[in-house]
Amino acid sequence: MTRWILVAIIGLLALGCADAITRQFMRGTARADVLGRNPSAKRLAVLYGGLMADPITQFAPIIDWYKRNGHEVICVRAIGDVYDLGAVVTAATEAIKDISQKRSYEHIVFDGASLGAIPAVKTLQRLREQGFAMPHTSLLLEGSPASWRDVLGVQKYGAWLIGRLRFGWLANRIPAVRWMFVPPKEENIEPTANRKWLERSVEVARRTSLSRYSSETAVYAKGIDGTPGSLKGLADKVIFVWFDRDHDTVDQQSALQAWAVLFGVTPRVVYADAAHVGFLEAPVASQIAHECALG
């Protein structure tokens, strides 16, 4: 019996070592796509997706709203086995600088869905460091935690732990995210919601690998490196979108207070009658919130 226990322990250690080796070959990249060019647009919206999400699908109703309201839209997507925050920020920065050479924008919106607030803030910082001549800017923090401390309940400790773990190709064979993922609640879905988009969003989330999930979690678990007031003046307007039906994801009061400390002023709050980042479940409520924030 002791021999088999020893064999099992050695086997697990060998698998762990093999998984650690595969991690060294895992890379993440990013791309920033302009979704339908509009040469007459005077406004630009830059969108950053949340955890386990394809931002083009996640933001679909909001993309429609931006386009109807005269915005050109850039959607920033992380690609690969891991989420590379630096690659996301670089892709966004270069896309903004490139398109701004061809357009004269009056207003740029940086719209971060939950986790997406971190790269949105870092893109603004990067542009400022590079001396980019910024027009009027708005930053939307869509139910965004400033760190792992803003996750609700005991989940915050899970976020802290998972954000410190690293997984390789072997661990990615385990469909752990599929087991953990909780689909949207029926009572939060509006009659006008596009069910095909919802189904696609759920399937994208369920297909997320452990390595991608843990590296995304690490970004918001770490949060923004900054002292009180260190983000002051980073954007002309800072708006926190508070999701009224989010009772199990983000402690929004804690998050709002944390962002207030970093910006040196409490962000303006706009309320959405939706679950956490529930653009697809509640497209009407989400568009109304964006109209209140930016209209």
State the pLDDT at residue 173: 75
Q: What's the rounded Cα separation, in Å, for the pair 36 and 70?
A: 12
Q: What's the rounded Cα separation, in Å, for the pair 15 and 143?
A: 38
CATH number for the domain harbouring residue 177: 3.40.50.1820
SS3 277: coil
SS3 136: strand
| Beta pairing partners, 190 | none
CB 229 within 8 A of CB 197: no
List all residues 6 or more positions away from 13 whose beta carbon is below 8 Å from its beta carbon. Answer: none
Output the CA–CA distances (angstroms, integers) from residue 183 to 11, 125, 177, 188, 259, in the order listed. Answer: 35, 34, 12, 11, 28
Output the CA–CA distances (angstroms, integers) from residue 282 to 66, 75, 100, 205, in the order listed. Answer: 16, 20, 32, 18
Euclidean distance between the first and final Cα of the chain, in Å? Answer: 70
Fill in the amino acid letter for 168.
Answer: G
State the pLDDT at residue 14: 42
Q: What is the mean pLDDT of each run of 10 residues along the chain (295 residues)?
A: 43 45 74 89 96 94 96 96 96 96 94 97 97 95 95 84 78 76 93 95 91 90 89 97 96 97 97 97 98 93
CB 59 within 8 A of CB 28: no
Placement of tokens 């923004």 in the chain: 224
What are the percentages of helix, strand and coil residues in the chain, rounded to 5?
A: 45, 15, 35
Query: H/E element holding 157?
Result: helix 155-162
Which residue range forms the structural domain that includes residue 175?
A: 2-294
State the pLDDT at residue 25: 61
Q: Could you tell me how far CA 251 lies from the centroid of its own chain?
A: 16
From the list 62, 82, 84, the residue with the least C-alpha distance to 73 is 62
Output the CA–CA distances (angstroms, integers) from residue 91 to 50, 78, 82, 211, 219, in the order listed. Answer: 16, 9, 16, 21, 17
Q: What's the rounded Cα separation, in Å, for the pair 289 and 107?
A: 18
Q: What's the rounded Cα separation, in Å, for the pair 114 and 120?
A: 10
State the pLDDT at residue 222: 87
The domain tally of the chain equals: 1
**φ and ψ of 96, to 5 deg:** -65, -45
Q: What's the rounded Cα separation, in Å, for the pair 58 and 42?
A: 24
CB 72 within 8 A of CB 102: no
This prediction has a pTM of 0.92
Q: What's the rounded Cα separation, in Å, for the pair 96 and 107?
A: 12
Placement of tokens 């398109």 in the chain: 99
